[in-house]
Chain A
């Protein structure tokens, strides 16, 4: 790929903006923006694979992000032995029965001749399976959730290194994506959109309510960090670190928080670059050309003997896996899983703004959009009240209109994002870095 000076300049502007935050606001905030910018860039890369390569409209990003988060809990948290003893086996049995029921129903549907007998058999399988599932599930869930509910009350995880959770998060998301794609791909584009919107809501609903799995809205806190990222209190006691702090002339406490963020940033950058490299390679390969051919003219590609639905399935699953990895990284960075905070505006539609603004079909564009929109999202929130202060300075303190405006200023950013999306879509539909 030839280096395009305009694109380099665009990236330079973004990092310049983040550096400006570091200089005038605080370096801690700047690195926080950088870290979430890296994660956002990865999410928007995933959406761009689906939308930009293949024209698939996925508005269920939130669900795949949440599944990635779930993976960190399932992989990295220590198992709760009492809970496993109380109801772990029974719960696994319940899940197995549920899966078997669905498989059996599918078999009945495929193998029996259409007719009333098939309908009856299907109903019988589903009803019996459901009763068996509930009979196993309810006592198991109650038993697990009653084990020390204030601090555990769930099965816990596998107590493995949290980095393993990143690919696992990708796999979980890929699995969910496969199920959605199997049902909704090959139908109209709107149907895929609604189906993904629905699956995302369901995934989050499950994570909020199945306390035996992830403590639901009680949140899982204290997820371990990756092995190379130490805790702030630990590094503050290291002699080399204290030397560095005194050398730089800052206090070790604030430096330690920046140090940790820097380590995370390095880790995320590696992941982003690896996935970006793979995505670029795939896009340039014959496979990538085929994907774009399908996107641009499905009928012609099908006439050339390309299996359009199978390719769509493939790219949809791959893109969702990337989003799942980003979700796992996000939860790792937060150190806690809070299912109540998954909000479609933030985790689905904002990602879409990133892709459209950055340039759909271009991986670099998606990444630029991820950084830029995340930066605006954070800074508009801070800027909103300031602007409001400026516009309402002629109103006396305590004026109800002024107070209301000040309080509502935080909602400005939804409006800003909408305006940005519409403006880019209208006047520069190919985005900041257009597809070649």
Chain B
């Protein structure tokens, strides 16, 4: 009789081992076992790689703790072309309303964005694409302030229609994208300076029904020079 019990317990042990092996990783947030684990995580530190959870093993000292960082203040991105580096120069304006008005008066769209017809067209097209990605869900496809976030999402504030704001010059639009205005947040981390100018170009184009209102821009530039 004793022998049966032994074989039974052996058998149950076998079943138990099978169950454990087949259920694999128990940690609910782990993606599972990895093959060739020394080739899975870079030895050099890489972004978005968690060194604190490998398979089932949790190592608290290696867990990700810091988030995305902003570059040192005043950093200027490297670029080969002189025109692009001019665009990337720091924007010396504060975030207040007076500074926005001052930026609108003093800063104008850089000349090389529209001096050639083909360049102007491609920049406006790129501006349109960026507008679709970063602005249209609130400001609407035509800039009427009727994006889905406003109409469906119930956002507490409503953006004004662009055709009522024709007095906002490109420099002012650039300032608004950089620092935000009223209920709109700053979008400087999502759009770099080059992209902000392109969006401003497209917004101006929308306000003046497909025309960039070049005369105004040219006269501004003459004043600046």
Pair from one complex: no
Binding site for A on B (CB under 8 A): none
